[in-house]
Amino acid sequence: MFSIMMNAQTSTPMESTIYQFKVEDIEGSEFDLASLKGKKVMLVNTASKCGLTPQYEQLEVLYKAHQEDDFVIVGFPANNFGDQEPGSDEEIAQFCEKNYGVTFPMMSKISVKGKDMHPLYEFLTKKSKNGLEDSEVEWNFQKYLIDEDGKLVKVISPKTLPTDESIVRWIEE
């Protein structure tokens, strides 16, 4: 009986990774997170009208500095905090490009908490799904670090800048 359970666990390795998810990008196309296999990934919920919105600039700097190192940032606009992301996907895309020159992948607006929380964020915030820890999305610009195997390895506070030494060190390891 024990060996059967072991085999069942090892035969479905994607269950505890981000690779099981497909999301919609900001242009309306499907984005399969399995396409990120082998890369270190930062997932971040974003907002255009937040005191932390200038972090877009540091996110872009980090992305440009390390995209050749198999590192990618994926932005998820969300309107869960103080109605700070009220725009449409098109408005968000224009804002990000015009104000911050964002070139990293941006997804369609989702919910990162509450009853309508996107399944990806359920995975990121529930230890029973991610295998690391329970967490709550505190505010806009919370960061989730994902290793090359698609596993959650660290949750970073919204107030920690994307270019923080601890994040850069993790990317360069």
Helix, strand and coil percent figures for the chain, each rounded to 5: 40, 20, 40
Is residue 111 in some structural domain? yes
Tokens 């994902």, residue?
146
Tens-binned pLDDT, residue by residue, of the chain (173 aa): 333 333 344 333 457 899 999 999 999 999 999 999 999 999 999 999 999 999 999 999 999 999 999 999 999 999 999 999 999 999 999 999 999 999 999 999 999 999 999 999 999 999 999 999 999 999 999 999 999 999 999 999 999 999 999 999 999 99
Is residue 81 in some structural domain? yes
Is 48 within 8 Å of 87 (Cβ atoms)? yes
The pTM for the full model equals 0.91
Is residue 7 in some structural domain? no
| Residues 48, 159: Cα–Cα separation, whole Å | 16
For 127, counting Cβ atoms within 10 Å of its Cβ (0-12 exposed, 13-18 middle, 19+ buried), the class is: exposed
Task: Please report, for the domain that includes residue 71, its CATH number.
Answer: 3.40.30.10
Is residue 59 in some structural domain? yes
Is residue 30 in some structural domain? yes
Is residue 5 in some structural domain? no
Catalytic residues: 50
Is 20 within 8 Å of 149 (Cβ atoms)? no
Domain count, the chain: 1
Who's near 116: CB < 8 A, 6+ residues apart? none
Run of H or E including 74: strand 71-77
Is residue 8 in some structural domain? no
| Residues 147, 18: Cα–Cα separation, whole Å | 10
Domain that holds residue 91: 15-172
Confidence (pLDDT) at 149: 97
Is residue 4 in some structural domain? no
